Amino acid sequence: MNLADEAIGTFERLGDLAEMIGRNPKVALELAPSALRGYILKEGEKNTFSLNSPHKTLYDWTYANEGNPAFRELYHRAYKGQWSAQDLPWETSVDPEDLKERYILPEKLSPIYNTPLMSKDPKDNARLMHDVLGFLLSQFLHGEQGALYAAAFTVEATPWFGAKLYGATQVMDEGRHVEVFSKYIREKLQRLYPVNDNLFVVLHALHQSPDWDIKFLGMQIMIEGLALGAFGLFYKFTKEPLLKELLRLVISDEARHVHYGVEALRDYYTKEVSETLRREREDWAYEIAVMLRNRFLFYEIRDKYFAGRISRKGWEKMILESEIMREFRRVLFSRLIPNLKAIGLLTDRIRPKYEQLGVIEFEHMKSADRLSLAELLAA
Ligand SMILES: [Fe+2]
Ligand SMILES: [Fe+2]
């Protein structure tokens, strides 16, 4: 990316932040340190990154506070459902530039499909699709790394022993997800992209918050809810057998994680907190939803392939208006929106904003606690 593009990109992100200040000044102020490190200092582009994550560790010497019975049930289901990454068919040969038979995603899901940017040479389009897959799967992997740390945090911070034990299984699950996605990316795709700046800001925001419910909301509901939608989309469309099996197993774990998030936050937001705090969380979740939606605008692909041919604004307009990309973003939110509703963060007050975002249609779908694995895989 050239310097002018980089400067434009930074100004656009600052413009997004200015819009957020107009909508939700309190949330914008909370997210400002994360935005500074992600958008201005671009810390996501470095190889490593650290922050002080404030939270409390809660010991309970009585072992009596079990919490919601669903926690213990999810815990038992989790350790019975453990699987080994070594059992996946890693010997499968994968061609990430195959768009005809055993493709990872069909070409119609390419961000430039049916646009003037498509090349007449199918090999060029296949190469570009290879990068699209590398970009998307890299973001899955980075999200999994964030989930690993967030899960570890929940073990320490939750007040309920049922939840602490359940959380221990989620740490194991997330470790395994980092293992399988990084192995797939390194050995089969050979395209590791840096963390997208919007995802970086969301991860930073939830880790730097001292409030346990923000960490749960950010990770277990928002990021994991969106990931479930994305994994389901890949699972549905892929003809690549190794990735299909990998995703089936990961989805079976993620379904428990999102279920846990819904159970843990539902009572808290609907019964325990003040209306003022509930509203604040409703606003926070909305702003995070906007950022996560922007994660799928594929600027990284534009910068690599089309920097000289189309402006960032032109690219954004093209992606936002593309029928297929619109569908892609909507499907991603199909798992997130019902969960927000289930925990009491999708009231009439905020509904018009989600309507504007084009994702309200999913509000009547089943939330994670009511979905079977078969339903998740059939989506
Ligand atoms: Fe995961
Ligand atoms: Fe997870």
Q: Tell me if 97 sits within 8 A of 129, measured CB to CB.
A: yes
Residue 58 Cα to ligand 1 midpoint, Å, equals 24
pLDDT for position 113: 92
* Ligand closest to the CA atom of residue 257: 2
pLDDT for position 2: 64
pLDDT digits (tens, 9 = 90+) for 284-311: 999 998 888 776 788 889 999 998 899 9
* Ligand closest to the CA atom of residue 145: 1
Q: Is 114 left (phi over 0), alpha (psi -120 to 50) or beta?
A: left
Residues of the chain with pLDDT under 70: 1-4, 6, 295, 379
pLDDT for position 349: 95
**Size of the chain in residues:** 379
Nearest of 371, 325, 257 to residue 115 by alpha carbon = 325
* Ligand closest to the CA atom of residue 261: 2
pLDDT for position 20: 83
pLDDT digits (tens, 9 = 90+) for 183-213: 999 999 999 999 998 899 999 999 999 888 9
Tell me how far the alpha carbon of residue 9 is from its chain's centroid: 22
Domains present along the chain, CATH in parentheses: 3-44+69-378 (1.10.620.20)
Three-state helix/strand/coil letters over 276-326:
HHHHHHHHHHHHHHHHHHHCCCCHHHHHHHCCCCCCHHHHHHHHHHCHHHH
* Ligand closest to the CA atom of residue 176: 1
The reported pTM is: 0.93
Residue 263 Cα to ligand 2 midpoint, Å, equals 15
pLDDT for position 3: 66
* Ligand closest to the CA atom of residue 219: 2
pLDDT for position 192: 96
Residue 114 Cα to ligand 1 midpoint, Å, equals 33
* Ligand closest to the CA atom of residue 256: 2
Residue 141 Cα to ligand 1 midpoint, Å, equals 9
pLDDT for position 379: 64
Residues with CB under 5 A from ligand 1 (ion): 144, 147, 174, 177
Residues with CB under 5 A from ligand 2 (ion): 147, 224, 254, 257
Q: Tell me if 45 sits within 8 A of 194, measured CB to CB.
A: yes
pLDDT for position 321: 83
Angle between helices 241-267 and 69-80 (to 10 degrees): 160
Residue 255 Cα to ligand 2 midpoint, Å, equals 8
Residue located via tokens 């989930």: 147
Residue 309 Cα to ligand 2 midpoint, Å, equals 39
* Ligand closest to the CA atom of residue 175: 1
Residue 70 Cα to ligand 1 midpoint, Å, equals 20
Residue 250 Cα to ligand 1 midpoint, Å, equals 7
* Ligand closest to the CA atom of residue 167: 2
